[in-house]
Amino acid sequence: MAKGRHGFPRGGGLPGGGNQMNQLMKQAQKMQEELAIAQDEVAEMKAEATAGGGVVRVVMGAGHQIETLEINPGVVDPDDVEMLQDLVTAAVNDAARQLDERAEARMSKVTGGGFGFPGF
């Protein structure tokens, strides 16, 4: 069979015919469906973190929105506001890190860690 300038058979077909293309399209569609499910699951994820032995507690939802912030009143010292700020910062940052790790792990199950193309 004569080949065109790109090495494929003339007529624009891929080697092996349309069957390989159909298979590739089915795989892409399945991956899109799995990706949509994973994105929905990520959108519902929450992370909880504490600091200072539990005197500050944060619950963070998708989009890094703080849903709950609890501070034990016994830790509030008007002469040491900096400590309270550090505890809140630590709890928020830990919750954000947990949420990012969970979302990345869930999405990697679909994409194989490389945008859905193994080896990339």
Write out the DSSP string of the chain: --B-TTSSBTTSPPTTTHHHHHHHHHHHHHHHHHHHHHHHHHHT-EEEEEETTTTEEEEEEGGGEEEEEEE-GGG--TT-HHHHHHHHHHHHHHHHHHHHHHHHHHHHHHHTTTTT-TT-
Place of tokens 């849903």: 67
The pTM (predicted TM-score) of the whole model is 0.69
For the chain, what are the domain ranges?
Answer: 18-111
Q: What is the pLDDT of residue 90?
A: 97
The third-level CATH classification (topology) of the domain covering 18-111 is Ybab; Chain: A; (3.30.1310)
Q: What is the pLDDT of residue 5?
A: 58
Distance of CA 39 to the CA centre of its chain: 8
- Out of 5-14, 21-30, 86-95, 111-120, the most confident range is 86-95
Q: Yes or no: say if 59 and 68 are a contact pair by the CB < 8 Å rule.
A: yes
Q: What is the pLDDT of residue 74?
A: 92
Closest CA to 15 of 26, 5, 3, 25: 3
| pLDDT > 80? residue 113 | no
Q: What is the pLDDT of residue 10?
A: 56
Average per-residue pLDDT in the chain?
85
| pLDDT > 60? residue 112 | yes
